Amino acid sequence: MDKMLRNPYTIAFFITPAFLLFLFVIPIPIFQTFFYSLTSWNVISDPTWIGLDNYRQLFTQDPHFVKALINTFIFALGSFLLQIPFAFLIANLLLRLKRFTGVFRSIFFFPCLLSATAVSLLWRFIYHPNMGLINSALNFLSLEGLTKSWLSNPNTALYAVMITVAWQWFGYHMVIFMTGASSIPKELYECADLEGATGWQSVRYITFPLVKSFIKISTVLITASSIKAFDSIYILTGGGPNNASTVLALQMYNRAFKQMKYGYGSAISVLLMIVAIVIVTILQKAIKIEEVTY
């Protein structure tokens, strides 16, 4: 059996089915998308070759492209700022708990298990301008001036979606950080205690450096998934009042599936892929992790 498994031909043979599946589901459609982005195609006729016209139109004539691009960046940055520090904070607090750590961890992690659709529908009701939880609470506290139509106000729509997504996913990163932080030996904290370090200082000088690599993983994960975020935005605002909360993925969906401009939609998706690759590469290079040992 051993000999058989070490034979390169056998290995190739067993990998082939999975590899073929992968090939036809990921790389080949990506190349096809590149090809279709250079055509004008409404899927019921043959594609017509137009070269870089889709890209030219995207950059010079599309009234929503710039807004979508900016919103994509805001969404990615905002998601990072909302989720990572908060997840880190909660992770540290939970690690200091003597009892019920598991209970709280499960509670905070639970939203990740729900479908994004269910969460978005739930928050649609919470954000409802007249009957939702938020505005009702503000009215109850006599703060009517602060009530807004959260999802249909162009200034708040995107941020409302960011909060929903953050609510769902911060538990995921919290669990990652807890896992990372729990591998730090207790003696380090005891030493720091003996030398008079406060809780905050021990977090800053012990926990944070040793968990850095996990924070980097979380950052890359959040950035990559926020750049292609679609479902929550689609359900909560549908692109927002008059495209105020539209992002690149939504534009791609509208152009391709609603307007039957598959060539144009492919161009947007190619651009989305390039944006994602560039940003993640920059992140990988920028966050330098030096191995810290104590």
Stretch binding another protein (CB under 8 A), from 40-48, 72-80, 109-117, 192-200: 40-48
C-beta separation of 36 from 262 below 8 A:
yes
Least gap, CB of 10 to another protein (angstroms) = 9
In this structure, what token pair is assigned to residue 183? 């591998």
Nearest CB to another protein, comparing residues 4 and 25: 4
Polymer length of the chain: 294
Stretch that binds another protein, among 90-98, 149-157, 173-181, 212-220 (CB under 8 A): 149-157
Residue 145 found at the interface with another protein (CB under 8 A): no
Q: Write the CA distances from 46 to 58, 60, 85, integer angstroms.
A: 22, 26, 50
**Near another protein by CB under 8 A: residue from 40, 101, 136, 149:** 149
Neighbours of 78 (CB within 10 A): 19
CB 33 within 8 A of CB 266: yes
Contact call for residue 66 and another protein (CB under 8 A): no
Q: Tell me which of 11, 12, 14, 287 binds another protein, using CB under 8 A.
A: 14
Does 99 participate in binding another protein (rule CB under 8 A)? no
Residue environment code for 37-60, b if the CB has 16+ CB neighbours within 10 A, otherwise e = bbbbbeeeeebeebeeebbeebee
DSSP, collapsed to helix, strand or coil, labels residue 48 as: strand
Residue number, 40 or 101, with CB nearest to another protein: 40
Positions 150 through 189 that interact with another protein (CB under 8 A): 150-153
Contact positions vs another protein (CB under 8 A): 1, 4, 14, 17, 42-45, 61-63, 124, 127-130, 149-153, 238, 241-243, 254-255, 257-261
